Structure 1
């Protein structure tokens, strides 16, 4: 190492760390923002905290994201809404029964979203969305509506194939959504939804909920002559 570099690193370590790194990748900023938004909430999180956690200046953060609101939207896109292309492609390629598809949907949602930090974004919107109507509308457009649309496609597939009874699809989707919402609240609310003595196994819970939903959706057996 050149002597000048050694002296610079020795006496100005933080400055030179920043110089070598220059700018954090947007992904690092989004990861830091996700952690803070979920842990502290949107209102309580400050932009400078996100920048500090990512190891950059507040000014660098705003080079990528001009406001905290835009940063939040990017976090939602990165972790939730940006995945619907992948999920719809899986729907198109699925070759099994619709019952198996619904079981798969609920299980894979837990593995990819529910069990991760990203599930805290839903809890955040439930608790703070009323105070930030623009963000609430963004979340509805980018997450809620595509999610509902995908569930409608699944249930309609079952109806069209004769597996499911002809139900009101727009309301039937909430039978699937409700147990997912419960798990997210349970995960991010100190498990206050349970009695404190028993534990919930998320995979077993979702498997039971899936069978309950499927039992309710199933086409009833034809009556005898």
Structure 2
């Protein structure tokens, strides 16, 4: 009995070539997805590029074709999952027509939907834990994530003050007042929660993340109103 040919061998040559092109185009995304999983699970120092390549189903040499080093791979993960979103968030802020209360509630809801409830939230915990050991990565994260993030929140507060909806306050400390609940939630989800019974971060939280954010925004608004 003759062995069955591989599915790709049944395709005409142009179709096989197109399939290879599609596969090649998909590889960077597959590598970034695998890298995000491993960086969040194991941390930056403990993650080896061989593991990332194996999880993505490619060789280490293939990985290096797209990302010359582990540092380049990590930077690409950060840009893909967090830093690359700031331009869209700036545009959303530019077009937002509601008051400051609605804007702050929208800010928390969008952050939770796109970052907080996703695997990308683990990047914050990783940086908190490993920044001192990798100062170059810490500087990169500060430039690509922390600075744009604080600038965005600063714009929200400045907008509210100009509209008379937020009292005059020190903007630098006001920014961290807004960001603090987000940082706490990401650290809890990716440190304590996975260690609790059930090993499921979402199910193990002793509170609803949505309810927690709602309480935080209510308290924040009470303090920010004129």
Q: Which structure 1 residue ranges, 4+ long, deviate > 2 Å from structure 2? A: 2-6, 19-24, 190-194
Q: How far is the alpha carbon of 1:87 from its aligned partner? A: 0.4
Unaligned runs of 5+ in 1: 10-18, 220-225
Where does residue 211 of structure 1 map in the other structure? 218
What do residues 33-91 of structure 1 show as CA deviations (whole Å, max 9, x unaligned)? 00000000000000000000000000000000000000000000000000001100000
Measured after TM superposition, the shift of residue 99 of structure 1 is 1.2
- Report the number of matched residues: 207
1:201 counterpart = 2:208:
yes
Report how far residue 25 of structure 1 moved: 1.7
State the Cα deviation string for residues 87-119 of structure 1 (Å, max 9, x = none).
Answer: 000001100001110111011101110000000
Q: How much is the aligned-residue C-alpha RMSD, in angstroms?
A: 2.5
Q: Distance in 2 between matches of 1:43 and 1:184?
A: 20
Structure 2: which 5+ residue stretches go unaligned? 10-18, 197-203
**Which residue number corresponds to residue 200 of structure 2?**
none
Q: Is the 8 A contact 2:32 2:73 kept in 1?
A: yes
Equivalent of residue 34 in structure 2, options 29, 32, 35:
32
| Greater RCO (Cα-Cα under 8 Å, separation 6 or more) | 1
TM-score normalised according to structure 1 size: 0.86
- Report the TM-score when normalising by structure 2: 0.85
Instruction: Show the counterpart of 2:149.
Output: 147
> Measured at CA, do residues 127 and 167 of structure 1 come closer, stay the same or move farther in structure 2, by a change above 3 Å?
same
Aligned equivalents of 1:199, 1:125: Cα separation in 2: 24
Partner of 2:101: 99
Aligned residue runs from structure 1 range 89-128, under 5 A? 89-128=91-130
Q: Which secondary structure state, in structure 2, belongs to the residue aligned with residue 126 of structure 1? A: helix
For 1:86, the equivalent position in structure 2 comes to 88
Decide which structure has the larger Cα Rg and report it. Answer: 1
